[in-house]
């Protein structure tokens, strides 16, 4: 039993892997220089966006009811959910009705992320340093390198409103777009070019999309790209 197995206990307990096509975890080995970012648009009982950041062998996960926004004025509620396995990073498909989270899942964005040290408060002795420590302290500044989500963001815990409630906020920078409605303007899968209805109906991937061209895996960080 690894540390990641321990963190995935809740994830596995909620699911029957004989019935859902979701991964049970353990296929992808974690790596330091490849911190995965993925966002899944999930048409469950209520439509939401699952925002996931690789950290220490699992995907830390938040359900964002309204989805991420590139407008710094939009403070989007992000409810922390159970850690997911790394191989969830390219999952797209239908979770059967009656199963946990039943409904269509679209891979809405993928890429990688890094800590935004330039936005962090001045480091202090014994203060948070690693991403895990910043999360434990209730505030993590990140730079996203997704296809849709880019630039600097903050995840901040809403103190006193239940420890699972966070806000996902875009910082003002070259990637911010005040007034822009990203989830409406860019609704489709970055993997297959499909929307949630098409995934639900089993429509084949759009010709020219990444998966139709034979590339199913999420992109990797530039460091890994350079290595070939
Ligand atoms: Mn979900």
Please give the pLDDT value at position 5: 81
Give 81 Cα–ligand 1 centroid separation in angstroms: 9
Question: Is residue 175 within 8 Å of residue 151, measured between CB atoms?
Answer: yes
Give 123 Cα–ligand 1 centroid separation in angstroms: 35
Question: Is residue 43 within 8 Å of residue 71, measured between CB atoms?
Answer: no
Give 136 Cα–ligand 1 centroid separation in angstroms: 22
Using CB atoms within 10 A of its CB, is residue 41 exposed (0-12), middle (13-18) or buried (19+)?
buried
Please give the pLDDT value at position 1: 60
* Assigned domain for 2 exists: no
* Assigned domain for 50 exists: yes
Domain extent for 70: 31-219
Give the pair of three-digit tokens for residue 11: 């994830």
Work out how many domains the chain is built from and give that number.
1
Please give the chain's pLDDT, 228 residues, in tens: 667 788 899 999 999 988 888 888 866 665 556 699 999 999 999 999 999 999 999 999 999 999 999 999 999 999 999 999 999 998 999 999 999 999 999 999 999 999 998 998 887 888 899 999 999 999 999 999 999 999 999 999 998 767 899 999 999 999 999 999 999 999 999 999 999 999 999 999 999 998 888 766 544 444 444 433
Position of tokens 């209730």? 138
* Assigned domain for 4 exists: no
Give 94 Cα–ligand 1 centroid separation in angstroms: 12
Give 44 Cα–ligand 1 centroid separation in angstroms: 7
Containing 83, the helix (H) or strand (E) segment is strand 75-84
Give 28 Cα–ligand 1 centroid separation in angstroms: 21
* Assigned domain for 129 exists: yes
Please give the pLDDT value at position 221: 45
Distance CA 89, CA 70 (A): 22
Q: Return phi, psi of residue 63, to 5°.
A: -95, 120
Question: Is residue 84 within 8 Å of residue 196, measured between CB atoms?
Answer: no
Give 223 Cα–ligand 1 centroid separation in angstroms: 30
Please give the pLDDT value at position 219: 47
Please give the pLDDT value at position 3: 74
Please give the pLDDT value at position 126: 84
Give 118 Cα–ligand 1 centroid separation in angstroms: 31
Please give the pLDDT value at position 161: 67
* Assigned domain for 17 exists: no
Please give the pLDDT value at position 59: 96
At 87, is the secondary structure helix, strand, or coil?
helix
């Amino acid at each position: 039993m690894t540390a990641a197995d321990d963190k995935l206990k809740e994830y596995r307990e909620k699911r029957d892997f004989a019935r859902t096509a979701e991964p049970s975890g353990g296929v992808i080995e974690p790596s330091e220089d490849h911190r995965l970012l993925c966002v899944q648009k999930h048409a469950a009982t209520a439509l939401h966006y699952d925002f996931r950041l690789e950290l220490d062998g699992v995907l830390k996960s938040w359900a964002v009811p309204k989805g991420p926004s590139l407008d710094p004025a939009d403070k989007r509620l992000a409810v922390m959910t159970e850690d997911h396995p790394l191989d969830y990073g390219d999952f797209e498909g239908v979770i059967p009705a009656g199963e946990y989270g039943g409904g269509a899942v679209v891979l809405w964005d993928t890429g990688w992320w890094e800590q935004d040290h330039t936005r962090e408060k001045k480091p202090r002795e014994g203060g948070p340093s690693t991403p895990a420590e910043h999360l434990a302290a209730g505030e993590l500044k990140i730079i996203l390198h997704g296809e849709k989500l880019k630039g600097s963001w903050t995840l901040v815990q809403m103190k006193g409103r239940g420890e699972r409630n966070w806000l996902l906020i875009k910082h003002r920078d070259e990637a911010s777009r005040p007034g822009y409605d990203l989830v409406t303007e860019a609704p489709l899968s970055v993997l297959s070019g499909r929307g949630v209805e098409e995934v639900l109906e089993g429509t084949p991937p759009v010709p020219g999309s990444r998966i139709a061209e034979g590339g199913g895996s999420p992109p990797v960080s530039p460091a890994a790209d350079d290595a070939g």
